Amino acid sequence: MRKEVTKFTVNGKPYEIILESHMTLLEVLRNKTGHTGAKYGCGTGSCGACTVLIDGKPVLSCLTLAATVRNKNIETIEGLAEGNTLHPIQQAFVDYGATQCGFCTPGMILSTKALLENNPHPTKEDVKEALSGNLCRCTGYVKVIDAVLAAAEAMQGGK
């Protein structure tokens, strides 16, 4: 089995990890760097629970070979809050009841972050489109969409 050292950053911190060529980014985050906020939900890229950002773009980490992230900047759910101060998207998810079991939440929030960085004034339809790859079985999405729209507004106010 081929092994090699790969460098990348997670939430701004540099990592050098010995990788086996078959490992996915999700396995590396969960088992090697300790970022268990990225979730295994299906392994086939169908549920979005493993969503992380690579250089700002949402990516399904269960379908991404870890070897391909060399020198890239990865952002996981653990990187959003500053100390105990939640990011406005996180705060909106809490305040609007957008979490139930919370398992899909990290992926939902990261998809939202990517959306709002590209489109700070999304319509409801834009939000539905951006989150269409993130399955949730608890909320029926209603309060998730409310939270994303509220976060967009809050982030306008804050900047």
Partner 1 sequence: MSNALSVIGKRLPRPQGPAQTTGAAQFAADIKLPGMLIGKVLRSPYPHAKILKIDKSKAENLPGVEAVITAEDGPKIPYSICNLSGDMQNPELPSEHKDCYVFNDKARFVGDPVAAVAAINEYIAEEALELIDVEYEKLPAVFDPIEAMKPGAPKIHDYAEGNVAEHIPYAFLEGDVEKGLQEADFIFEGTFRTTKQKSAQIEPNATVANFDHNGRLTVWSSSQQPHPARRQLARIFNMPEGKVRLLSPFIGGAFGSRQSFITEPVCIALARKAGKPVKLEDTREEDLSTREGRQPQILTAKLGIKKDGTITALQFKTVADAGAYFSHSGAVTSLCMMDFLELYRCPNKNGEADIVYTNTSISGGIRGYGNPPAMFALEQLMDNAAKTLGIDPIELRLKNIKRAGERGYGMLPIENTALAECIKLGAEKIGWQEKKASKKEGVIKRGIGMACAMHCSGAYPDLVEQSNAFIKLNADGSADVTVSATDLGQGIVGALGQIAAEGLGLRAEDVNVTYGDTDVTPFDDGAHASGSCYTTGNAVLAAATNAKKQLLERAAKALGVSDEELDTREGRVYVKTDPEKGIAIAEVVRNTIYDFTGEGYNISATGTSGYRGSSPFQATFVEVEVDTETGQVKVLKIVLAEDIGRAINPMTVEGQLEGGIVQGLGYTLTEDFVVDMNTGCTVTDSFDVYKLPTTLDLPEIEVILVEQPVASGPFGAKGVGELGLIAMAAATANAVYDAVGIQVKELPITPEKILHALESNQ
145 part of the interface to partner 1, by CB under 8 A: yes
- Contact range with partner 1 by CB under 8 A, out of 2-10, 66-74, 115-123, 143-151: 143-151
Closest CA to 93 of 45, 82, 101, 60: 101
> Could you give the CA distance from residue 89 to residue 109 in angstroms, rounded to a whole number?
7
Spatial CA neighbour of 77 closest among 33, 29, 37: 37
Q: What span, in angstroms and rounded, lies between the C-alpha atoms of 89 and 147?
A: 8
CA of 78: how far to CAs of 59, 101, 107, 129, 138, in Å?
A: 16, 18, 11, 25, 22
Q: Is 37 in the site for partner 1 (CB under 8 A)?
A: yes
- Among 53-61, 65-73, 89-97, 113-121, which window interacts with partner 1 (CB under 8 A)? 89-97
Rounded least distance, CB 5 to partner 1, Å:
19
Task: Give the CA radius of gyration of the chain.
Answer: 16
- Nearest distance from residue 49's CB to partner 1, in Å? 6
- Count of residues interacting with partner 1 (CB under 8 A): 55
CB of 142 to partner 1, least distance (A): 4
Structure tokens at 83: 């100390």
Binding of partner 1 by 80 (CB under 8 A): yes
3 binds partner 1 (CB under 8 A): no
Name the residues that contact partner 1, by CB under 8 A: 30, 35-44, 46-47, 49, 76-78, 80-81, 84, 86, 90-91, 93-97, 99-106, 109, 127-129, 131-145
